Amino acid sequence: MFSKTCQYGIRAILYLAVHTSEDKKLGVEQISNGLDIPKHFLAKILQQLTKHHLASSSKGRNGGFYLNTENKNSSLLKVIHAIDGSDVFSLCILGLPECSSQNPCSLHQEALKQRSAMLKILEDQDIQQIAKRIDLKHIKI
Amino acid sequence: MFSKTCQYGIRAILYLAVHTSEDKKLGVEQISNGLDIPKHFLAKILQQLTKHHLASSSKGRNGGFYLNTENKNSSLLKVIHAIDGSDVFSLCILGLPECSSQNPCSLHQEALKQRSAMLKILEDQDIQQIAKRIDLKHIKI
DNA sequence: AGATAAAAAGAGTTTTATATCTTATTTAAA
DNA sequence: TTTAAATAAGATATAAAACTCTTTTTATCT
C-alpha cells in the first residue's frame, strides 16, 4: 500500500505531533532513535516534508524538527501525497493503465470500497486529532 | 498493495479462466500478447502458479496453460498468497513489526476495515464466478 | 569573531524488484 | 524417430527503492 519511505514519513509526522511544538524541537537523531528508522534516510524524508510545509525545521544550535499549529492542522493524506504521489488511492489495483468506473477492472468496485474507509480518516481527521488519540490510548507510533 | 508480479498473476489467472479449459490451452506468447505482459516474466509467474496447483499446463505439441475445473474453483486469494506471501493482508500498514488488535498502530482499525472488504471477495468468490462476471459485463482483464 | 550544533544538499552505494536472454528438457504429433 | 511446440531453469541485465556518507549552509552560544 504505502512505500517504506511513506510509512516512515507518516510515523515521523505523528511522532512530531505528539512530542514537539514551536518551542520543543527534536533533532533527526532523537527522532530516528525514537522510531527506529535509519537516521540519514529519515533526514531526507523530513527535508522533503518540510519543503512541502507539512513539517517545520530550524537550523543551527537548538534547531530541529517540529510541527507548528498549521502543520498539526494538516492531514496524513497530504503527507502521503507528498511522498508517494497523489494517485496512490486512484491507481488501478491490478495495474491497468485505463481503469475507471466507466471502464473498470475486475476488482475495481472492491478497490473503491476498500480505499474509501481509509481515505476518510486520512483526510477528515487532522494530525493533531490522531496525535491526541495516540496519546490517550497509548498507541505506539 | 500487490506487487507487479502479483498483479500479472491475477490477470493471467483471470485470462485463463475466461479463455481456456481442459481442451482449449494457450501458450505463453498468446497470453502475454493478450495481456501485454512481458513474455518471459509471465512464463515464470505461470510456472509458479502451476507448481502451486492454481493453474495447469501441458508440454509438447498443442500444449499450453489452462485452468481445469479444480483451478477454476479456487480463489484469487490463493493466487495472491502464492505470489506475495500469506501475510499481505495482515502486515502492519505502517510497517511496525508488532502490530495487532491488542497492540495496534494508529491506523490499525482502518487498515482492518479496508482489508476486510477486499478479502471477502477474494476468498468468497471463486475464480469461475469472477470470470463469468468479466465475460457478461465485458470487463477488461 | 569563532566554535559548535543543527539542518540542507548532493553524491554514492546497496538491495530488491522487475525484466530479459539463453539453454535445456519434455512431450506429442507428423 | 524426427521435429515442432511447449515448459523449465539458470544466468544476467536494468530500474527503482532503500539506505549511507560527505560537504555545505545556517543559526546560536560563548
Mean pLDDT score, B50-69 = 89
List residues of A whose CB lies inside 8 A of any B CB: 1-2, 4, 7-8, 10-11, 14, 93-96, 99, 103-107, 110-111, 113-115, 117-118, 120-122, 130, 133-134, 139-141
- Between chains, do B106 and A7 touch, taking CB under 8 Å as contact? no
On average, the pLDDT of chain B sits at 92
With a cut of 90, say whether residue A117 has pLDDT above it: no
Cell 502451486: give the residue. Answer: B52
pLDDT of B107-132, one tens digit each? 999 999 889 889 988 999 999 999 99
pLDDT of residue B63: 86
Cβ pair B134:A7 closer than 8 A: no
Contact B113 A115 (CB under 8 A): no
CB-proximal positions of chain C, under 7 Å: 4-11, 17-22, 25-29
For strand D, is any atom closer than 7 Å to the CB of A103?
A: no
Can you tell me the mean pLDDT for A101-109? Answer: 93
Confidence of residue A77 (pLDDT cuts 50, 70, 90): very high
CB contact under 8 Å between B1 and A4, yes or no, is: no
Helix (H) / strand (E) containing B6:
helix B4-19
The Å distance, CA of A5 to C1' of C15, is: 15
The closest CB to that of B94, out of A11, A103, A114, belongs to A11
- How far is the CA of B130 from the CAs of A95, B73, B75, B77, in angstroms? 18, 10, 9, 12
* Mean pLDDT value of segment A65-89: 97
A116-A119-A121-A125 Cα dihedral, nearest 10 degrees: -140
Q: Which residues of A touch B8 (CB under 8 A)?
A: 95
Q: What is the mean pLDDT of residues A86-112?
A: 93
User: What is the mean predicted confidence (pLDDT) over B44-57?
Assistant: 92
| Predicted local confidence at residue A91, as pLDDT | 95
Task: Give the side-chain half-sphere CA count within 13 A for B17.
Answer: 28
**DSSP secondary structure string, A120-131?**
HHHHHSBHHHHH
Q: Which nucleotide is nearest to A40 (CA to C1')?
A: D20
* Closest residue in chain A to residue B99, using alpha carbons only: A140
- Rounded to 10 degrees, the C-alpha dihedral A115/A116/A121/A123 comes to 100
pLDDT at A104 over 90: yes
Residues of chain B found within 8 Å of residue A133, distances taken between Cβ atoms: 106
Q: In A20-107, which residue ranges form alpha helices assigned H by DSSP?
A: 28-35, 39-51, 69-72, 76-84
Give how far B80 is from chain A: nearest CA, Å.
12
Which residues of chain A make contact with B93, given a CB cutoff of 8 A? 1-2, 7
Name the band, by pLDDT with cuts 50, 70 and 90, for residue B102.
very high
What CATH code is assigned to B4-86+126-136? Answer: 1.10.10.10
Structure confidence by residue, pLDDT tens digits, A12-48? 999 999 999 999 999 999 999 999 999 999 999 999 9
Is B93 within 8 Å of A1 when comparing Cβ atoms?
yes
Report whether pLDDT(B61) > 90. Answer: no
Nucleotide with minimal C1' distance from the CA of A65 is C7
